[in-house]
């Protein structure tokens, strides 16, 4: 099995899309991620997987907290901005529990780092959810490298 075949296979798993956000030294950094899952109810834990080369690691390591913003179908542009596919866009973040969140997300989870695991070329962050916001709407989805094709 080569890398391309593995990536193609993983792309067959339809997901939602999140933007991870955190703030350190007065600077907010965001990153698009679909490697997100719920882990535990007691305590309330979630997991994200961040590539070792991503700048996001430096911000989370300093702040020891981060938010996960689950995007609605109207927020594809946010996904593209925080994946580096749309450059030089100004994004205004709201603040929730002292952390940056993207307004109009379906869900924003405010998390503190519970523990961290290195896994190959990624770092897994388990976050303890300290509070969340919730609103109705349709999700942005990602399948076979494309947005919102799950039901089309
Ligand atoms: P950068 O590449 O420097 O930042 C990402 C982009 O966000 C840059 O263009 C930057 O200008 C912009 N940005 C950051 N902060 C701000 C701000 N405050 N205001 C305005 N713009 C800002 N990678 C993973 O590691 N794990 C995943 O689970 C994952 N899932 C993905 C899912 C999808 C659907 C896509 C499209 C990409 C995914 N990626 C994932 C890839 C990841 O989003 C990119 O590699 C990203 O560029 C890595 O970000 P970075 O932290 O290295 O920072």
In 3D space, the residue among 101, 112, 128 whose CA is nearest the CA of residue 64 turns out to be 112
Q: Which residues contact 45 (CB under 8 A, 6 or more apart)?
A: 38, 39, 114, 126, 127, 128, 129
In 3D space, the residue among 88, 60, 86 whose CA is nearest the CA of residue 75 turns out to be 86
| Residues in the ligand 1 pocket, defined by CB under 6 Å | 17, 28-35, 49-51, 54-56, 79, 81-84, 87, 89, 91, 142
User: CATH number of the domain that 20 lies in?
Assistant: 2.30.110.10
- At 15-49, the pLDDT tens digits run 999 999 999 999 999 999 999 999 999 999 999 99
pLDDT value at position 150? 55
Q: What is the mean pLDDT of the chain?
A: 96
The total of structural domains in the chain comes to 1
State the closest ligand 1 atom to the C-alpha of 80, by its place in the atom list counted from 1.
36
CB of 55 closer than 8 Å to CB of 29? yes
Mutate-to-test residue for ligand 1 from 22, 54, 92, 142, highest number of ligand atoms within 8 A of CB: 54
**Residue with CA nearest ligand 1 atom 8:** 84
Say yes or no to pLDDT of 149 above 70: no
Mutate-to-test residue for ligand 1 from 13, 20, 31, highest number of ligand atoms within 8 A of CB: 31
State the closest ligand 1 atom to the C-alpha of 48, by its place in the atom list counted from 1.
28
DSSP 56-72: HHHHHHHHSEEEEEEPB
Query: What residue numbers bound the domain in which 60 lies?
Result: 3-149
The model's pTM: 0.96
- At 54-66, the pLDDT tens digits run 999 999 999 999 9
């Amino acid at each position: 099995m080569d890398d391309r075949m593995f990536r193609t296979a993983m792309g067959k798993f339809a997901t939602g899309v999140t933007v991870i956000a955190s703030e350190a030294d007065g600077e907010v950094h965001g990153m698009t991620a679909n490697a997100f899952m719920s882990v535990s109810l007691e305590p309330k834990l979630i997991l994200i997987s961040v590539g070792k080369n991503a700048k996001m690691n430096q911000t989370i390591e300093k702040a020891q907290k981060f938010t996960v913003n689950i995007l609605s179908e109207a927020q594809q542009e946010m996904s593209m901005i925080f994946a580096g596919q749309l450059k030089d866009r100004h994004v205004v973040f709201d603040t929730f529990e002292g952390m940056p969140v993207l307004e109009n997300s379906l869900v924003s989870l405010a998390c503190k780092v519970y523990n961290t695991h290195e896994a190959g070329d990624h770092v897994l962050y388990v976050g303890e959810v300290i509070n969340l916001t919730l609103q109705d709407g349709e999700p942005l989805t990602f399948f076979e490298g494309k947005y919102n094709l799950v039901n089309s």
